[in-house]
Amino acid sequence: MTRFVRHRDSGIWSRWASYIRTGHGENKELKQLIRREGIAYAQNNFRFALLESRSMRTDDDTIFERETYWKEVLLTRGEFGYNKN
């Protein structure tokens, strides 16, 4: 099950709250960074922005497609980012 599906019932707030609470939001790469650097590193260096919003009734395929689009545009995969999915 993906992170998106787990947070679907409560929307973006639940997803962001997870990042705020943990510093990593269950992201594998960020977990490693937080383990090494501590949560203060995330609090001092990370910023979040909502790039696009959709109804909570939007089908999963559309959401995954848009997430993939933004990950590619912002180069958050591979050597420049922490997204490995």
At 31-58, the pLDDT tens digits run 999 999 999 999 999 888 889 999 889 9
Q: pLDDT by residue (tens digit) across 52-69?
A: 999 889 999 999 999 999
**pTM for this prediction:** 0.70
Assess contact for 82 and 27: CB atoms under 8 A: yes
Amino acid letter, 12: I
Strand partners, 83: 77
- For residue 72, what pLDDT is reported? 92
CA angle in degrees (0–180, nearest 5) for 76-81-85: 65
- For residue 4, what pLDDT is reported? 45
State the DSSP code for 42: H
- For residue 58, what pLDDT is reported? 92
Q: Which residues contact 50 (CB under 8 A, 6 or more apart)?
A: 12
Assess contact for 15 and 67: CB atoms under 8 A: no
